[in-house]
Structure 1
Amino acid sequence: MNSPKHLNYETRPAKFTERKMLLSSFLRLCNFFKGEYQYIGFGGLSFTDFKLFHKELHINDMSSIEAGLEIEKVKFNSPYSFINIFHELSSEALTKIDLNKKTLVWLDYDGTLDNYMFEDLAILFNRLPVGSIYLMSCNKELKSAETGYIYTVEQFQEKFDGLVPFGIKDQNFSGSEDHKTIKKIFTNLIRKTVKNRNLIGENIYFHQLYNIIYQENRGARMFTFGGVLTSNETKFDDLNLSDFDFISNDDTVYKINLPNLTTKEIDLINLHLSNIEEAETLAKTKIVTISEINKYKAIYKYLPNFYDVRL
């Protein structure tokens, strides 16, 4: 991963909002399945997810995969001595990690869709036990690395061969359809892998929980997909996640839209959160709009607060 060389993941508001959303659902899932988890992810230089999940989920068994940065620099920035650092490609590192443990894995790729992502998925889903949580994120733009332009059907089929969904068309690579195409490929591969495991006597089922898109200001257009492995008997409602608006167990996509508000405007909206009529009156002042109010109400629990502190 090369993005840590250019971006500080701790100060990206949309990414931080997504992280806090995911954490709130992880807390319930970990409580539902109980027992200890290990975490696998890409630590980069900030190790933001590692610090958050250690403190909030009490995970002490952690593995960070980072092939794109100098190993000494990564080790120096590691916040905890118990983080196992793998300085190699993810598809190599995953074969060396004990995946028979209950696992929370978030492969937060910084590039566009590529074949190694499906190699990673196959390694994980052939071994992960019930209770394991899988997420992947990537740039959702379906562009050819060779041409720099959006794939044609022929280019996409040549690149991804047998993974390509039947009947795919050029419009499936557009900005409004690209994440749907990525989701379909991942879903098909997961179903196939889970089915094969069940044919040899296992009892597992994959519940999709995450289907999220967002874009930082003038940044990459990102897509996050994932869910949890359960027994076949476990129903979605059993997981107690239906009250989270961002949870999706179907094709419904959740888009993270951040309002552009000052601290004073946020304080004003907070006073009227539960009163629709007062919010409409507030919008008439032209200080904030109904659109901004609605965006804020949908996401305010997860918004980060950044401060400039003199040390």
Structure 2
Amino acid sequence: MSNSGRKINYSVRPAKNVERKMMRDFFLRLSHFGRIEDYRYIGFGSKYFSDFIIFHRHLNISEMISIEADTNNRARYEFNKPYSNIRMEWGHSSEVLPKLAQSAKKTIYWLDYDGAFEPFMLQDAAIVAEGISSGSVFSVSFNCQPPEFVDGDIDGLKDALIKQVNKKNIPANLDLRGWKSSRNNAIFLKNCIRDEIGAILKDRNLSEENSALKMKFEQRLFFTYADGAPMATVAFLFFNEGDEKYIGNCRLDDLYFSRNGDEPFDITMPNLTIKEIRHLMEIRPDQSKLNEKIFTPKDAESLWQNYRYFPGFSEIEAF
């Protein structure tokens, strides 16, 4: 959304590469709610459009919208669009989303924020929840770097958290323990998003007389990872009572990385050579053949768990 693409090449971050493929496989399972190719995809393409490329290729989604706040470089983003069917919407997400969210069309949202968590991200979640349709997904990625405060200073911690989520979301019985951990901060921020959505849907359902159309939602993914800064991603599936029967058919729980609680799936990427990767795959899953002078059991297990999603990068002289 911002001009962070000048700092980060989103296409080659290894943990992000794995996450993107996992998201793809999650979205593919939504077909029981409707044809995936009939969905919209709304995200932040930056100038790399990496998620747009993979979702168009594998989900065959044609209606794709990229929100971009860096209006000073419009020509560059338009030039880098991989497909002409990607529509650019210029402006801050909280300004653009109101005109996109009020649609009956099933939509996959992935708002991949790159900066520190701020209250407008909760506002974006509220905007989407007010109009999202059954069978849609709202996904958010955010930096979960723990707030800075002096040990023992509960007022300093409260001030730091207020900058992230506003005062109304700070628990009255705030406990200082665990706040130096990015994992615990990710859980707190994820639950703030969940609570914001829940409050919106409660109000929305009050005005809906048809019980079959009352909207519900469930958390289906919760990732943590780091290609530098600690990051987290959460995805919520929305459905009305009339469509709840489709959830079982999607078999979302069959995805080994699916998470519906506070325990995240941590995407860890071992730093291995091509020869090391090849060897580990040849001996998989026999730990007794592992040469611990070369490999750690943790690196081997991480590769074996996620090998289907493990990225392969190579340099090609194409010009």
TM-score normalised over the length of structure 1: 0.90
Counterpart among 56, 64, 80 of residue 77 in structure 1: 80
**Letter of the structure 1 residue corresponding to residue 265 of structure 2:** Y
Give the CA deviation at 1:285.
Answer: 6.0
Give the CA deviation at 1:23.
Answer: 0.6
Give the CA deviation at 1:125.
Answer: 0.3
Tell me if 1:230 matches 2:239: yes
**Letter of the structure 1 residue corresponding to residue 303 of structure 2:** Y
Counterpart among 103, 107, 111 of residue 107 in structure 2: 103
Could you say what secondary structure the match of 2:263 adopts?
A: coil
Residue aligning to 1:147:
none
Residue aligning to 1:251:
262
Give the CA deviation at 1:166.
Answer: 4.1
Preserved CA contact (<8 Å) 1:210 1:226: yes
Preserved CA contact (<8 Å) 2:67 2:90: yes
Preserved CA contact (<8 Å) 2:55 2:61: yes
- How many angstroms apart in 1 are the aligned matches of 2:64 and 2:270? 34
Preserved CA contact (<8 Å) 1:45 1:77: yes
Distance 1:160-1:308 versus aligned 2 partners, 3 A rule? same
Residue aligning to 1:241:
252
- How many angstroms apart in 2 are the aligned matches of 1:264 and 1:79? 33
Residue aligning to 1:9:
10
Q: Cα deviation per residue 1:93-147 (whole Å; 9 max; x = unaligned)?
A: 1122253211001000001110110111111000000011110001102437xxx
**Letter of the structure 1 residue corresponding to residue 256 of structure 2:** D
Could you say what secondary structure the match of 1:177 adopts?
A: helix
Equivalent pairs counted in the alignment come to 301
- How many angstroms apart in 1 are the aligned matches of 2:233 and 2:17? 13
Tell me if 1:221 matches 2:227: no
Residue aligning to 2:151:
none
**Letter of the structure 2 residue corresponding to residue 192 of structure 1:** A
- How many angstroms apart in 1 are the aligned matches of 2:248 and 2:80? 40
**Which has the larger displacement, 59-68 or 198-207?**
198-207
- How many angstroms apart in 2 are the aligned matches of 1:231 and 1:103? 14
Task: Structure 2: state its 5+ residue gaps.
Answer: 149-153
Counterpart among 145, 152, 157 of residue 157 in structure 2: 152
- How many angstroms apart in 1 are the aligned matches of 2:235 and 2:167? 23
Preserved CA contact (<8 Å) 1:64 1:84: yes
Q: Cα deviation per residue 1:212-243 (whole Å; 9 max; x = unaligned)?
A: 11011xx1110101121012362754430212
Residue aligning to 1:122:
126
Could you list the structure 1 runs, at least 4 aligned residues long, displaced by more than 6 angstroms after superposition: none
Preserved CA contact (<8 Å) 1:64 1:83: yes
Counterpart among 43, 46, 52 of residue 44 in structure 1: 46
Could you say what secondary structure the match of 2:54 adopts?
A: helix
Could you say what secondary structure the match of 1:173 adopts?
A: coil
Tell me if 1:296 matches 2:303: yes
**Letter of the structure 2 residue corresponding to residue 211 of structure 1:** F
Counterpart among 201, 217, 223 of residue 212 in structure 1: 223
- How many angstroms apart in 2 are the aligned matches of 1:231 and 1:200? 14
Distance 1:200-1:263 versus aligned 2 partners, 3 A rule? same
- How many angstroms apart in 2 are the aligned matches of 1:252 and 1:155? 24
Preserved CA contact (<8 Å) 1:112 1:143: no
- How many angstroms apart in 2 are the aligned matches of 1:138 and 1:102? 23
Residue aligning to 1:193:
200
Could you say what secondary structure the match of 1:45 adopts?
A: coil
Give the CA deviation at 1:264.
Answer: 1.5
TM-score normalised over the length of structure 2: 0.88
Residue aligning to 2:274:
263
**Letter of the structure 2 residue corresponding to residue 160 of structure 1:** N
**Letter of the structure 2 residue corresponding to residue 32 of structure 1:** H
Query: Which aligned pairs between 1:79-94 and structure 2 lie closer than 5 A?
Result: 79-94=82-97
Give the CA deviation at 1:169.
Answer: 2.8
**Letter of the structure 2 residue corresponding to residue 203 of structure 1:** K
Distance 1:285-1:165 versus aligned 2 partners, 3 A rule? closer
Could you say what secondary structure the match of 1:101 adopts?
A: coil
